[in-house]
Structure 1
């Protein structure tokens, strides 16, 4: 999980400790740890946008507050599960594609070894290797079929060898979707549990959703090269546009909705 570069003295000391021979060996032995930040951010933003779209659309149409809870909860669980399953299947398909290419490359090496050696030679020549260094690099790579296959997958086909685990990616998406997506519904649920405790649930829902959007963006900034307030405002703007569209559609189409008693 890559973080924004920290230029403090404490960071320099930490980086020095991380770049000792022993620390480097341990890090390489542990292997690459995939970040599930994309899955979390994707689920969180979509959860808040989707659920608040229900809130905004129902409110714009002038429907009862109870409708918000019913539609919101149904949408929260159904869409959250759908997104998680889709992410699981998509991530698994990428791993299956990698396995298929790995099998094909191994077969090519066994069937056309000279041609595959030439491919490695040209790959490393493009990297700037020449003469004796090029021959040594090609010899070292092609002496280990596992390393040979990995080289072809990465440098010829552009595939990542360490992708996300499907179940973890799906779980991150679902948890983020439900947790952040529940925020717009909170004032309505509270008013349902304690009638009259929230006079107009839409406005607290609007404010809480805006805060959730901003916090999700600010959280993202801890792991990418972006200022926290810029990332927060960017996410807030995207969510605000989606909410505005939902409210506008509900308001314009309110004449199509059968009148219900106010909630």
Structure 2
């Protein structure tokens, strides 16, 4: 397969996968937000129509967590004066659901995922683009693609550690290891299909 074929097929696959990942993130974020909004409406109805029982349940929960009965009653009494806060507290504390963020835009999450996928996913292809004017050796281009892929994965791991506050070294190693394993599996499958299943080029 020529370098041009690699670039064409690689870029087409990259865009297709990016669209799939971005749209999947959009659907996931939209569904999560919609479910949280519906659950908040249910919780709001419960607080409005069964306020006393909801207060009692919340007091019991705080006591189960180790809070003194008097303190639990005082805290819930304060919450009961602010229904929005009480609704959010019940959602998080009793149902384990985060209140919906009205400023969250699912399409932005999808766009960020799509863009990030393209930026980091194009690293292997850059090797072929950069080296085309200098060499026709596919082995050199392949090695260059591997090096750029490792660099991209390292940057991704460092960015992950920066956001999460974890170890930079461990995060980079884990990210690179994950990429190497995934690439090795893909290569093994491709090699098997080509050599064992009789899919050699004519």
Range of TM-score over shorter length: 0.7 to 0.9
Write out per-residue CA displacement over residues 193-217 of structure 1, whole angstroms, 9 at most, x where no aligned residue.
x3x5453311110111112112211
Count how many residue pairs are aligned between Structure 1 and Structure 2: 195
Write out per-residue CA displacement over residues 211-249 of structure 1, whole angstroms, 9 at most, x where no aligned residue.
211221122222334322221111111101111111122
The structure with more helix, counted as a fraction of residues: 2
Give 1:219's match in structure 2, choosing from 133, 156, 159: 159
State whether structure 2 residue 48 is matched by structure 1 residue 110: yes
Structure 1 unmatched ranges of 5 or more: 1-62
Q: Give the CA RMSD over aligned residues.
A: 1.9
- 1:231-250 equivalent positions in 2, closer than 5 A: 231-250=171-190
Structure 2 unmatched ranges of 5 or more: none
Taking the aligned partners of 1:185 and 1:70, their CA distance within structure 2 comes to: 10
TM score, norm. by length of structure 2 = 0.87
Report the alpha carbon displacement of residue 257 of structure 1 after superposing the two structures with TM.
Answer: 4.2
Map of 1:25 onto structure 2: none
Give the 4+ runs in structure 1 shifted more than 3 A.
Answer: 162-165
Taking the aligned partners of 2:74 and 2:106, their CA distance within structure 1 comes to: 38
Taking the aligned partners of 1:227 and 1:139, their CA distance within structure 2 comes to: 43
Give 2:115's match in structure 1, choosing from 175, 190, 212: 175
Q: Which has the higher contact order (CA 8 A, sep 6+)?
A: 1
Taking the aligned partners of 2:9 and 2:57, their CA distance within structure 1 comes to: 57
Would you say the 8 A contact 1:190–1:198 is kept in 2? no
Moved more, 249-258 or 140-149: 249-258
